[in-house]
Amino acid sequence: FRYYFPCQRWLAVEEDDGQIVRELVPVDEAFVKKDSENDGQSLATLGLEQKAKSTTYTVKVKTGDKKNAGTDANVFITLYGSKDDTGIVSLKASKINKNKFERGKVDEFTVESVDIGDLKKIKIGHDNKGNSTGWFLEWVEIDAPSLGQCLKFPCGRWLDKSEDDGAIERIIFPAELQTTEYIPFVPYEITVYTSDIFGAGTDADVFIVLYGSDGICTQQKSLCLNKREQRMYFERNSVNQFIVELEDVGDIIEKIRIGHKGGGLNSGWHLDRVAIRRLLPNGK
């Protein structure tokens, strides 16, 4: 057998979600064969195929408010679930702070993985490299939208060869009383068509909200991860596709709200249409 593992993603600290290692899942050969007639559909199905087999976690890390609590070392984390684990993931690009793991600060990271099941524990540590390596870790919080859970992993200890027990990595378990549960998110495939008229494209931050029956709606979600994507997408006469995890609004989407936040030189946008498909939690 020949296995195909498409990626079509950046492996770069300054791009996409900041990860330089990715887990890829095998897909059917038809998804990677370039065919002018069904290429768009194949890529659409590929996005769903990959999303059905993967999940996204938001990882928040709190550095303690103590003298010399911050670290310059390279920090890594592994998430262990009931089915699998993520392998070692380097926490390279904080979404909040340019200088990460500073005293008293909270950093946020995105970790994408195949479905590992219910979260059971984590291992977090550093490589002890750099000028100031010792680190006081207060806690780790992991939000797993596909599980409908936000789990807190309290630590409150040094990861330092000259402090505490000298360990620079620790296995931490979630505090059951601090676990928040909510309705699990589901992936939506959102295809955006920009019109073919002069000046139709935009570099602004485009967002969307989905509305279901009985007044249920999703959070407001930006479709681009960063400014580079904003410059790249929503060009004149373009079709851009996004797979985003949002609250489940049910089988019927009654309306959507789509817009942008303005600003910049080319914010005006002529939108032709939007197509949305809901991917059920079981991957169908």
List 60's β-bridge partners, or say none: 108, 141
* Percent helix, strand and coil across the chain, each to the nearest 5: 10, 40, 50
Domains of the chain: residue spans and CATH:
1-39+183-276 (2.60.60.20), 54-179 (2.60.60.20)
- Res 5 pLDDT > 80: no
Mean pLDDT of 258-271: 85
Q: Please classify residue 74 by burial: count the beta carbons closer than 10 Å to its beta carbon, then call 0-12 exposed, 13-18 middle and 19+ buried.
A: middle
Residues of the chain above pLDDT 70, percent = 86
- Res 20 pLDDT > 80: no
CA pair distance 179, 221, nearest whole angstrom: 24
* Alpha helices per DSSP H over the chain: 39-52, 227-232
Q: Which long-range contacts (CB under 8 A, 24 or more apart) does 27-36 make?
A: 28/4, 29/2, 29/4, 31/4, 31/6, 32/4, 32/6
Structure tokens at 6: 């498409």
Identify the top-confidence range among 48-57, 75-84, 266-275.
75-84
Identify the top-confidence range among 31-45, 124-138, 177-191, 204-218.
124-138
Among the listed ranges 99-113, 141-155, 211-225, 268-282, which one has the minimum average pLDDT value?
Answer: 268-282
Q: How confident is the model at residue 93 (pLDDT cuts 50, 70, 90)?
A: confident
- Res 156 pLDDT > 60: yes
pLDDT in tens, 177-229: 999 998 889 888 888 999 999 888 899 899 999 998 888 899 999 999 888 88
CA pair distance 132, 128, nearest whole angstrom: 9
CA pair distance 101, 68, nearest whole angstrom: 11
Q: Are 264 and 203 in contact (CB under 8 A)?
A: yes
CA pair distance 223, 210, nearest whole angstrom: 13
Query: Nearest 5°: CA angle at 148, between 145 and 150?
Result: 80
Share the mean pLDDT of the chain. Answer: 86
Bigger pLDDT: 45 vs 221: 221
Tokens 């169908």 correspond to: 284
Distance separating the N- and C-terminal Cα atoms of the chain: 25
Mean pLDDT of 108-124: 92
pLDDT in tens, 227-249: 888 889 999 999 998 888 899 98
- Res 34 pLDDT > 70: no
Q: Rg for the chain (alpha carbons), in Å?
A: 21
Mean pLDDT of 75-104: 92
List 257's β-bridge partners, or say none: 209
- Res 283 pLDDT > 70: no
- Res 261 pLDDT > 60: yes
pLDDT of residue 36: 42
CA pair distance 51, 41, nearest whole angstrom: 15
